[in-house]
Amino acid sequence: MSVVNSKQKGSAFEREVCRELSLWVSKGSQEDVFWRSATSGGRSTVAAKKGLRLATQAGDISCIHQIGAPFIDKFLVECKNYADLNFVGLLLKRKGHLAEFWSEVCTQADRYGKEPLLIAHQSRQPIIACTTRQGGCLLNLPLMGQCIFHVPDLGLEAYLFEMVLKYGVAPHE
């Protein structure tokens, strides 16, 4: 049996999220609306250093079909797949992987005038989707009362990703 390294696991997780978001936005008709951004958003980062703005390449996920454009225009999506996201560190001390990832996605989203959406998975746990209250409102999430936790001083609201896909409403315009 071959050993799968963390980069391969991260790439596989990004592909899984792309597929799920594609099916969600297309109401089950297409698996190829979204795909991994060039060098996981690195193309946008390099361009920004040159004074260019590549907003559609920012973050881990880009749209490759026009029906995904309203979603990507509103959200900067980052995907993280870690053995231990350190939920306790986030909730008690505002430290650890999840806190760091949230800070990074918020900084990037702010740079491009988008809402942050962090889709994260910890080993043997369900996938979560973290966004702001405004991001949740764009997806119609607060109305379903499914927030699993929130950290008001960080502006973070977390939802089970499966509930976002089941009850959330994808931006269409």
Number of domains in the chain: 1
User: What is the pLDDT, as a whole number, of residue 53?
Assistant: 46
| Separation of alpha carbons 140 and 168, rounded Å | 6
88 within some domain: yes
173 within some domain: no
Q: How deeply is 164 buried, as exposed, middle or buried, from its count of CB atoms within 10 A (0-12, 13-18, 19+)?
A: buried
Residue type for position 162: E
What is the chain's alpha carbon radius of gyration, rounded to the nearest angstrom? 15
H or E segment to which residue 160 belongs: strand 156-160
137 within some domain: yes
1 within some domain: no
54 within some domain: yes
Q: In what order do the strands lie in the sheet with 128-131?
A: 75-82, 115-122, 128-131, 156-160, 147-151
User: What is the pLDDT, as a whole number, of residue 155?
Assistant: 96
Q: Tens digit of pLDDT per residue, the chain (173 long)? A: 445 577 778 899 999 999 999 999 999 999 999 999 875 444 344 444 445 445 556 799 999 999 999 999 999 999 999 999 999 999 999 999 999 999 999 999 999 999 999 999 999 999 999 999 999 999 988 766 789 999 999 999 999 999 999 999 998 86
| Separation of alpha carbons 123 and 4, rounded Å | 14
172 within some domain: no
Residue type for position 48: A
61 within some domain: yes
**What DSSP string describes 78-98?**
EEEEES---HHIIIIIS-SHH
147 within some domain: yes
Which residue range forms the structural domain that includes residue 30? 6-167
